[in-house]
Amino acid sequence: MKITNLKTYLVDSGSAKHWLFVKVETDEGLYGWGEAYTQLDRDRQLEVQIQELARYVEGRNPLNIKHFCFMAYNDFAGKRGSLELFCAISAIEQALWDIAGKAAGQPVYNLLGGAFREKIRVYANGWGGGGTPEQAAEAAAATVAKGFTALKFDPFPGPWRAWIDKSEEAAAVERIAAVREAVGPDVEILVEVHRRLAPMHAIRVARLLEPYRPYWYEEPVSAQDLDSLAEVRRNINLPVVTGEELYTKNDFRPVFEKRAADILNPDVCNCGGILELSEIGAMAEAYHVAIAPHGYNSTAVGLAAMVHGVAAMPNFLIGEYFVNFEEMSNLYNRTPIVAVDSYVALPTAPGLGVDMDEEALAAHSYQQRPMRKLRMPGEE
């Protein structure tokens, strides 16, 4: 079996960003789908990266997945990584696993060791945790009413800054307090910080949040400064999460060595793909670190790839599910994936278990978004 063609679809997500899907076709009629992580204003270059890499994929055996990843990093990229490169590798790698599962007549997780669980727990994101504390509380209660038992949001007012004053600290605490009161003691609250704080603020805010029993404290400082992240972890009583800005096992190794995090959140659409996610999970297990994948991707291909990647992972904790992406994901995916009571059932069809509608994708192709208002000198 040989790869004959690779198509890309950069499409509307119903939100500010676009989604980037990849279809890999073979000479035996089997095909596979993958998805690359995207960011607003950083999506077209991702598509070009995939198209350049595609020239070196055509003619290869799609079942040689590990060799493809090795070739892409070592030979194609000369061991010079980037967000664009690893997003491209991740998308193509997922599509190859989709083909492999279809060829074997098995869901992908059965090729990775078999299911460790029958369903995957997910937390809700994209539910509207901004606005006033009262608005955040109302949105949280509505999300819990839909069956979700865990919610993530960023409680800090913008813009992102490393040094914040006490009023901003107080605003974050007030939002968390309001959401806790609205959802009760049993719903998990996951605090997102987006890598923004200096260590002194990260530590102080965490201590103020402890009475509200957050499930975790995500990326209080950047993973590019693991010593500071480890400092925060040593000085607070909340589980620290990092990983969404790290790619491949190589980036995660020093996190373990420095004991910088309790939980890792690699993203299957940018960390290197399904097998790389599985291998990162295996490394983490040896260090008593849990895996809770990041998932700012569709609830179609990206979610399916995450589900298969963690199905056989003993130290999996919980995964990310963007509730505001459901409608457009289901428009594109002929076999929608649905979260019920904060769980996603394992697919049973061969491959990833998704089948995208190419006509729908083509009908919602890329449209450049209006420019964002970015800070100028003198603006906070």
Report the catalytic residues.
194, 294
Which of 234, 204, 229 shows the shortest CA–CA distance to 218?
Answer: 229
State how far the Cα of 68 lies from the Cα of 83, in Å rounded to an integer. Answer: 18
Neighbours of 344 (CB within 10 A): 20
State how far the Cα of 291 lies from the Cα of 280, in Å rounded to an integer. Answer: 9
Helix (H, G, I), strand (E, B) or coil at 342: coil
Residue 11 carries which DSSP code?
A: E
State how far the Cα of 228 lies from the Cα of 361, in Å rounded to an integer. Answer: 43
What is the residue-wise DSSP string for 154-204? --S-SS--SS--HHHHHHHHHHHHHHHHHH-SSSEEEEE-TTB--HHHHHH
Question: Strand ranges (DSSP E) for 208-288?
Answer: 216-218, 240-242, 263-264
Q: Give the Å distances, CA to CA, from 11 to 36, 38, 76, 334, 358.
A: 12, 11, 27, 16, 11
Q: Give the Å distances, CA to CA, from 115 to 34, 76, 119, 289, 347.
A: 21, 34, 9, 20, 11
Give the contacts of 242 (CB within 8 A, at least 6 positions apart): 218, 219, 223, 229, 255, 260, 261, 264, 265
End-to-end CA separation in angstroms for the chain: 56
Which of 271, 291, 274, 280 shows the shortest CA–CA distance to 353?
Answer: 274
Strands 3-12 and 18-26: antiparallel
On whether the CB atoms of residues 6 and 50 are closer than 8 A, the answer is: yes
Residue 304 tokens, joined: 């399916």
